Structure 1
Amino acid sequence: MTDETLAGYANVSLYSAMAVFTIAMLCYAVYLAGLLPARDRAGAREAEAAVDRDRELVAAGAPAGEAESAASATHAGRPGRPGKPDESDVPSRARAAAGIGATTTWLGGMLLLVSVVLRGLSVERWPLGNMFEFAVMGSMFTSIAFSVWATKRDLRWLGLFITGPILLVLGMAVRVWYTEAAELLPSLQSYWLIIHVTVAVLATAIFTLGAAATAIYLVKDAFARSGRSSVLDRFPDTASLERTAYGLHIVAFPLWTFTLIAGAIWARQAWASYWNWDPKEVWTFVIWVVYAAYLHSRATSGISRQTASYIALAGYACIIVNFAVVNVFFVGQHSYSGL
């Protein structure tokens, strides 16, 4: 089998993954849509139960005022919001859609893995030599990490916010960043490519999961503070969301730290200097500083969780700039975008 044939099969696998992720995204959207009527039905049942309790108290001889107080006490702590329904309140079609979404997310990740392997075989090197390959492998790591994580926790509420961005990145990879399979530049022909760039891709994938959880936490917190009800009421509570996001960042930050250190070691071998103030080096360090500031603020008692979370999102914005802007518009020693 020729290298061109392998590269062609890699693209077919990539396009197949995009089709599968589209199905997964739509299924997760159906699941979230199914939570809305479930929430409304639960609220109606809770209101009916409160009325029934009120009637029972009145029938038992309790004054109407005391009955109303007892009913109000039942809803203390969540005024003006419907109660959180159990899983039986979710329509069966929505639950089935979520199951299909989880399965197709696994399938999409495996198809991306096949695409990455075939791409590497076609060029006889590690497939991380340009932006296109970075985007595909990053999407693969993100989808597989999410799927593995979902085997431990119920993450159906998060599926749409992971498969959607993955599909967007793959679309950009195909339409904007695509590069024909080719050999590496001499400066990239090093075992540090496997170590440095692979860890960077893995860290970016986990930061993506953390950014999604952080954004949902901030939106849900805003709704909670305003007293408004939304489908987010069916998501985990804000404290749990914030802890989840923090835990993901705790895992990703040491990986990014290693990326920074490994890059400096590779730079010493390739360019005879650990640090050259190259735009890519500078932005990698900026990302590290912003996430370090997030972790520091998260551990500081005088800074709110909301403020710390905004810093975390700023860090992810820096990652996007580093990949989509610096790689394309800044000329330096890391000009390997392939565009």
Structure 2
Amino acid sequence: MSDSAPNRTRTKTDGDELDGAALIERGREVLATEARAITALAGRLDDAFVDACRLVLACDGHLIVTGMGKSGHIGHKLAATLASTGTPAFFVHPAEASHGDLGMIRSGDLIVALSNSGETAELLALLPVIKRLGVRLIAMTGNADSTLARHADVHLDTGVDREACPLGLAPTASTSAQLAMGDALAMGVLDARGFTAEDFARSHPGGSLGKRLLLHIADVMHSGDDLPAIGPDRTVSDAIVEITRARLGLCAVIDDARRVLGILTDGDLRRGLDGVGDIRTTPVRDLMTAEPQTIDADALAAEAVEQMQARRIQGLLVVDEEGRLVGALNFQDLLQAGVV
């Protein structure tokens, strides 16, 4: 080492000197403290919670969540949860509100303000404007006697006995309490609004749940020239060519009116070829599976997943109400669509 290189002083925070048992114990203490803080909220829920839910449900405008610091981070999450569960909501930073963002707030809106102390200066500065606009206010604080709580239409008590921080300084248990109370408010409103899984999916179309509840068979099936189909009197050799061309691992067997008579799959070929004579002369009807599983194009793609998994099959034919072939899909199509 060069004489000019700085000396590193090993400290008690170096990885090889950490006391693992002490760390685990500290972690358990934090989790227990925050769990007690959240549990205590349940015993304090009263008519104020009901009033808060009613205000949210009655709001004709937007619900605006605001808060500073760590409470602001919790506010961001609360706004996102409300917006995704049927309540138009967004977050406004209270410091930015005094510099132009107050234009986002209109008469008919509802504000939910988060502050553990209830004395956050940036929030208190908004009170005169809120009152002048006639905007209703729900305050979520840890001090029922605070300025913010006293000026609110509804106050939700999120006070905690102590923070989980060993110094008693970093917001920990108090922000956990805010988060839990915000979720309770959002879920109470969701339930009262009659919000369904389908409603949730509409605001989450890119997620797996949205795809399971919104994506239909018609959205993922193969049709037209991509659709492998053959008549029952064609040969097994012809069917192999059709299966290879379509790359779906299956071929529909149809009559002249395109009604489904059967299906021939890669599995059928593997299991049946030993008992078949010349594939160039053997008709498809001798090897196909008659009366195969089918599904309607308007059905949810999730239903196709359930059928395939329940019957341990890899493909489905899609038919109309007359039993005529309109499409086909395999399990890989559903995987690629994100339904599985």
Query: Smaller-chain TM-score range?
Result: under 0.3
The normalised TM-score by structure 1 is 0.18
Structure with a larger share of its residues in helix:
1
The structure with the larger Rg is: 2
* Larger RCO, structures 1/2 (Cα 8 Å, 6+ apart): 1
